Amino acid sequence: MTKSELIDAIAASQAQLSLKDVELAVKTILEHMSEALASGERIEIRGFGSFSLHYREPRRGRNPKTGDTVDLTGKYVPHFKPGKELRERVNLGLQAGR
Residues that bind another protein (CB under 8 A): 1-3, 6, 9-10, 13-14, 16-17, 21-22, 24-26, 28-30, 32-34, 36-55, 75-80, 82, 85-87, 89-94, 98
Q: Which is nearer to another protein, 67 or 96 (CB)?
A: 96
* Residue 84 C-beta: closest distance to another protein, Å: 12
Angstrom distance (rounded) from CA 47 to CA 86:
6
Q: Which is nearer to another protein, 32 or 62 (CB)?
A: 32
Dmax over CA atoms of the chain, in Å, equals: 58
Q: In whole angstroms, how far apart are CA 81 and each of 11, 69, 75?
A: 27, 33, 19
